[in-house]
């Protein structure tokens, strides 16, 4: 863990940061629950499907770049989507040596029925910040992660690495929106 030296702290500032984190986590949690409830897949899976729908077929590395996530995390999600028949893996139409992931007709149908995902909203918001603010935020988050001793941990797509408490959700199942 990080150092334990006593630092001066402004309780209002710490609370403001924690309130911001709570709002972001709530946005992501509510979005993920809506995805599960409305289309029966995780928020991370839906986010990947939506990226495929917007940008077309691509490699795992390109999809990782689109989702701003490590390729190993995207690969895990893509495997689940392929198992569910929502995506497929095959040779590129432009370069037969290149393997691409694309939506299946069932995947396109899910995207049409699905709510927008919070991840896209977060990315748009981050890109809209002025560069100095975004850089300060990145530095501050990196320092906080380091202080918590989490800098070596992989950062998977939101909530994808957590087991679902109630098994696979289907359309129409309910969940509290806490």
Instruction: Please write the tens of the pLDDT for every residue from 29-76.
Output: 898 888 888 899 988 899 999 999 999 999 999 999 999 888 888 999
d(CA 133, CA 128): 10
What number of other Cβ atoms are within 10 A of residue 48's Cβ?
32
Model pTM score: 0.74
Q: What is the pLDDT of residue 100?
A: 94
Which residue, among 160, 161, 166, has the nearest Cα to 42 in the 3D structure?
A: 160
Of residues 15 and 168, the one with the higher pLDDT is 15
**CATH code for 15-147?**
1.10.10.10
Question: Please, what is the angle between helix 43-55 and helix 118-128, to 10°?
Answer: 60
């Amino acid at each position: 863990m990080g150092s334990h030296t006593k630092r001066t702290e402004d309780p209002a500032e710490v609370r403001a940061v924690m309130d911001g984190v709570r709002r972001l986590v709530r946005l992501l949690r509510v979005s993920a629950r809506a995805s599960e409830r409305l289309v029966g897949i995780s928020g991370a899976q839906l986010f990947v499907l939506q990226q495929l729908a917007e940008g077309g077929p691509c490699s795992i590395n390109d999809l990782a770049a689109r989702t701003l996530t490590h390729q190993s995390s995207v690969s895990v999600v893509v495997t689940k989507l392929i198992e569910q028949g929502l995506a497929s893996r095959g040779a590129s139409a432009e370069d037969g040596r290149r393997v691409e992931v694309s939506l299946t007709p069932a995947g396109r149908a899910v995207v049409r029925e699905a709510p927008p995902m919070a991840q896209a909203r977060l990315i748009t918001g981050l890109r809209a910040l002025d560069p100095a603010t975004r850089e300060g935020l990145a530095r501050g988050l990196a320092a906080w992660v380091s202080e918590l001793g989490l800098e070596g941990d992989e950062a998977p797509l939101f909530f994808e690495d957590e087991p679902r408490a109630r098994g696979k959700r289907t359309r129409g199942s309910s969940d509290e929106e806490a």
